[in-house]
Amino acid sequence: MGNELAILGLGNMLYLEGMDLTLPQEKLVEEAFKRYAKIGLEKITLDEDYGPYSIRGKRDERMMGYHGLNYGLSGTRRMQRIIERPEVEAAVGVGFCGALDPEMKKGDIIIARNAAMSPYVIHSDQWKNKLAWGSADKELALAIGRKAEDAGYDVRMGNIYTVINTASETPEFIEELKEGKFDGIEMETAALYQLANAINKPCAVILEVSDNQAKENGCNIKKRVQELIDAGEHTRLAEIVREAMLETFKCEEQ
């Protein structure tokens, strides 16, 4: 069994975005430490085997990795490379989503209990019959939800629909998703769950609501997400995940 915990930045490149990756290794590590000190890693190294937007380091004697992924399914290949590594014991995705319940507001949290996607990326009556599902590890998802509630967030355990591109997000399609009991919409979770389920690796996803598609379809989603990142929300969610993972997966005594 592996002994490393992986946190995946879904749809953003985490704190390494904008860094000059041509800098000498020691300079990259120094800059990375300044950014990741907020999350509390005690020792940091950059690992080229994981890709240029990955950092691994120690926390409470446990190896942890932080990995930034591209938007949507373009990040799936790197996602698979990370979670399939034998040293990785469990993985949690941290990202943002559009809410489908008009009662939800920006800043609320959805812990993705289940996630589905369909090959029909354009609005089609057939999409409901072609859903491919994946599920979270129940114990891990509940632990993250409790930590988020303790931090003051309004938390919901819900179902997520993963779109392959935003062309499918028509008002009519959003209404159908609401009727199908989906709570949020984004571009990565179902792929992550299906990969993790296929290899029996514990996995969960925490998503912060950036916009409400039930009330403001067509808004500037990237701008809303960037506002949350600039406000430090990704850091806060990563801290919540780190604490929940360290409590859920205790180090075995040597």
Alpha helices in 98-186 (DSSP H): 138-150, 171-179
Q: Within a domain: residue 202?
A: yes
Q: What pLDDT, on the 0 to 100 scale, is given for residue 65?
A: 80
Mean pLDDT value across residues 47-64: 69
Are 2 and 86 in contact by the 8 Å Cβ rule? The answer is: yes
Say which residue, 138 or 117, is predicted with more confidence: 138
Is 60 exceeded by the pLDDT of residue 124? no
Residues 6+ apart with CB under 8 A from 9: 66, 67, 68, 69, 94, 95, 234, 238
Is 60 exceeded by the pLDDT of residue 61? yes
Say which residue, 177 or 37, is predicted with more confidence: 177
- Round the average pLDDT of the chain to a whole number and report it: 79
Banded pLDDT at 199 (limits 50, 70, 90): very high
Q: Tell me the percentage of the chain whose pLDDT exceeds 90.
A: 35
Compute how many other C-beta atoms are within 10 angstroms of the C-beta atom of residue 252.
7
Q: Within a domain: residue 62?
A: yes
Q: What pLDDT, on the 0 to 100 scale, is given for residue 254?
A: 35
Domain containing 167 equals 4-248
Q: What are phi and psi for residue 54, nearest 5 degrees? A: -125, 140
Q: Within a domain: residue 124?
A: yes
Q: Within a domain: residue 254?
A: no
Residues 6+ apart with CB under 8 A from 79: 8, 69, 188, 191, 192, 195
Structure tokens at 136: 């979270």
Q: Within a domain: residue 253?
A: no
Domains held by the chain: number: 1
Banded pLDDT at 121 (limits 50, 70, 90): low
Is 90 exceeded by the pLDDT of residue 136? yes
Candidates 189, 41, 50, 55; CA nearest to 110 is 189
Compute how many other C-beta atoms are within 10 angstroms of the C-beta atom of residue 244.
24
Q: What is the DSSP string of 16-61?
A: GTT--TTS-HHHHHHHHHHHHTTTT-SEEEE-TTT-TTEEEEEETT
Is 90 exceeded by the pLDDT of residue 91? yes
Mean pLDDT value across residues 137-164: 95
Q: Which of 76-80, 183-187, 220-224 has the highest mean pLDDT?
A: 183-187
CATH number of domain containing 82: 3.40.50.1580
